[in-house]
Structure 1
Amino acid sequence: MESRLSEKNAYAQAGVDVVAGYEVVERIKKHVKRTERLGVMGALGGFGGMFDLTTTGVKEPVLVSGTDGVGTKLLLAIEADKHDTIGIDCVAMCVNDIIAAGAEPLYFLDYIATGKNIPEKLEQVVAGVAEGCVQANAALVGGETAEMPGMYGEDDYDVAGFAVGVAEKSALITGEKVAEGDILLGLASSGIHSNGFSLVRKVFADTDLTAKVAELEDQVLIDNLLTPTKIYVNALLPLIKAGLINGVSHITGGGFIENIPRMFSDELAAEITEGTWNILPIFDLLEKTGQIAHQEMFEIFNMGLGMVLAISPENLAQAKALLNEPSFEIGKIVKRESQAVIIK
């Protein structure tokens, strides 16, 4: 049977524009260059990203890896036609997990799938990824862009990432050092970060996202919701190198209740005093608008704290000084009687 597709344009007629793909690669080169760091080998466009571990100076290197996406927050970025920060979220979700294990991020790779390759839009996404890498001092060593008509709508795309970090074997943060009496130190979040957005979208489904909101100090709602996830690498590295951290919890999906117990043994619990840190206005607005039970908010959202650290009391002053950013003494580690997290 005679084909109805010309040999030259067959792929384009199937919905895939290879020329646009080449243009994306050219557009993102300048963004990738911003992320270069010592140890990067090869160039963008190879079949694999390479990194020379001997440049790290680590004697007993342990590689720590993390992968994640940004969930349904991406739907808000698409709806708002704002694509330059969602890449920061993607990097943050990966490198914040890595730093929680005591590892310094080394490099990152991204994966972007879309229904229609629009170079200008994909450049914005990768520019955000590059900015996240700069904030984390991680090199963007490669990635993949896939045009998948039929799988995604023309305006749709998804982004995911993969990061690798390195730690001295003796400096890994495993939670084994967390002990009764340790102080829980919370580090402020920048907002909702990248978790709980299926609920966020449901709560605000009938709300004008482009309107200014009095409870948010007249900030436009969509701007607040798309605030990129904070990257904690530079804040935590000095404490890790000084050996001041016993445990770290990255507060992501599952909020306080699921994530904080991940950094200590089953014999211990976290006793947290509400009111010792600033719960951001967006969480109050979510709770009120969605009529969400207050306790459930702690099971879903970060409530204004993106990281929680367990610090020995004798190391607390030094840890606060090295952090060089706002932190809050939110509670302490106690012996477990029933619940793993007690919020008073």
Structure 2
Amino acid sequence: MILLCSLLFWVNMRGENMNDGGMKYTYSGSGVDVLRNDEFTDYIKSVVKIPEWVVKEPTGYATILNFTNPPIVLTADGVGSKLLLHIEHGRWEDAAQDLIAMNYNDIVCVGGLPKAFVDYLGVNHIDKDHYEFVKALAKKLSEYDMALVAGETAEIPSIYSDRDWDVAGFCVGTLQRRIPVETINYEDLIIGLPASGFHSNGWSLIRKILKEEKISIKELDFDLLKGTKIYSEVTKVFELVKGIAHVTGGGILRALRRVLKDKGWEITIRLPDYMRWVLKYVEIEEGMRTFNMGYGMILIVSREILDKVLEITGGEVIGVVSKNTKIVVQ
């Protein structure tokens, strides 16, 4: 669990002031409490007995099942409340990409190669939107050498209103190499891979800002609903990296903590346009524990192989593993 009281004093701003003195919004104020989610996760761990054929994987991004050769990697995730905006604006390809990416990127973090996908649709009634979504899902999966192998669609009008529906994805891959996060050392370098946008986290907060500030997404200078980037290039550097972190729930701070554990980090963040926009309405500390801050995936590498990893992934060095923790935001 991230202790927020120990984080606030080392966040440094350089350049323009993002906060203009107006109303500031929080994730918890939009109805989502990340700490409450962590507590529930801890409870689940306390009541579940893990069998011996589950490989210990300290980052928790995906589960490795060691009863086949090679071992299987498994994960499950959804689009979240961003789906409400996809439905409103008919953005089926972006919704499909969000669903795939949230699973694909998690499997990659533990050294898995995603292969098979299963979906669950919960709807009021089946209509043309669901046909369009599934068509987009199958198409997008094929682009990443994956297949939609099964699924379930449930019409539940007693739960979902006329326009509401939800989708969950379940992804299976094969383990290529267990990522050795325990070998991370001080002075190893931190690489950030640029995000395509807000990806699929923090949308209860974003939607609250849009509603309260009466903002139309068509008025924005960037594509707010662009699908989450699928980091397929990372599968080509499994043998080179020491750690991989998918920046999802809990933002960039939680992602760094998941992979670095008790080590610190010194990083410099260059804010993209979409982050500069949201920081007009959100304090910088809240943004850092909610959003990706411009980087959807983080790699930890030794200095010796840095150039090769940068060439393959197109990432950029954003910092170093350190005993102290410092963040500079540009």
Q: Flag whether TM exceeds 0.5 (same fold).
A: yes
TM-score class, shorter: 0.7 to 0.9
In 2: Cα distance, 1:302 partner to 1:109 partner: 27
CA pair 131-92 structure 1, distance change in 2 beyond 3 A: farther
Structure 1: unaligned runs, 5 residues or longer = 1-58
Query: Amino acid of the residue matched to residue 151 of structure 1?
Result: I
Determine the structure 2 residue equivalent to 1:343: 327
- Structure of higher CA gyration radius: 1
| Letter paired with 1:68 | D
- Deviation string 1:42-101 (CA, Å, 9 cap, x unpaired) is xxxxxxxxxxxxxxxxx9512111100111101111222333321211111001000011
CA distance in 2, matches of 1:295, 1:310: 23
Contact (CA 8 Å) 2:310, 2:316: kept in 1 or not? no
Which of 116, 138, 142 is 2:125 aligned to?
116
Query: Is the Cα–Cα contact under 8 Å of residues 70 and 86 in structure 1 kept in the other structure?
Result: yes
The correspondence of residues 88-167 of structure 1 with structure 2, limited to 5 A, is: 88-118=97-127, 120-167=128-175
Give ranges in structure 2 of 5+ residues lacking alignment: 1-67
The runs of at least 4 consecutive aligned structure 1 residues that moved more than 3 Å come to: none
* Structure 1 letter corresponding to 2:248: T
The question of 1:247 aligning with 2:243 is answered yes
Which residue number in structure 2 is paired with residue 207 of structure 1? 214
Provide the C-alpha distance between the structure 2 equivalents of 1:329 and 1:195, rounded to a whole number of angstroms. 24
Q: Deviations over 1:267-318 (max 9, x none)?
A: x11211233xxx2211111111x2x111221111001100000010000011
Deviation at 1:104, TM superposition (A): 0.4
Identity percentage of aligned residues: 35
2:91 corresponds to which letter in structure 1?
K
State the alpha-carbon separation in 1 of the partners of residues 142 and 266 from structure 2. Answer: 36
Distance 1:161 1:342 in 2: 36
Q: Does residue 1:193 correspond to 2:199, yes or no?
A: yes
Q: Distance in 1 between matches of 2:317 and 2:93?
A: 34
Deviations 1:118-152 (A, max 9, x none): 0x211211123224323432211111111111211
Q: CA RMSD in A?
A: 1.7
TM-score by length of 1: 0.72
Aligned-partner residue type, residue 299 of structure 1: R
Question: What letter matches 2:304 in structure 1?
Answer: E
User: Match of 1:226?
Assistant: 225
Output the amino acid matched with 1:97: D
Tell me the residue number matched to 1:36: none
Check the 8 A contact 2:269/2:293 in 1, yes or no: no
Counterparts in 2 of 1:277-288, with a 5 A limit? 279-288=271-280
Q: Which has the higher contact order (CA 8 A, sep 6+)?
A: 2
Separation in structure 1 between the aligned mates of residue 252 and residue 107 of structure 2, nearest angstrom: 19
Specify which of 295, 309, 325 is matched with residue 319 of structure 1: 309
**1: distance between equivalents of 2:125 and 2:175?**
40
Q: Deviation of residue 342 (structure 1)?
A: 2.8
Over 3 Å counting, the alpha-carbon distance change for 1:88 and 1:274 in structure 2 is closer
- Distance in 2, matches of 1:60 and 1:334, equals 37
Count of residues in Structure 1 that have an aligned counterpart in Structure 2: 260
Q: In structure 2, how many angstroms separate the alpha carbons of the residues matched to 1:227 and 1:274?
A: 21
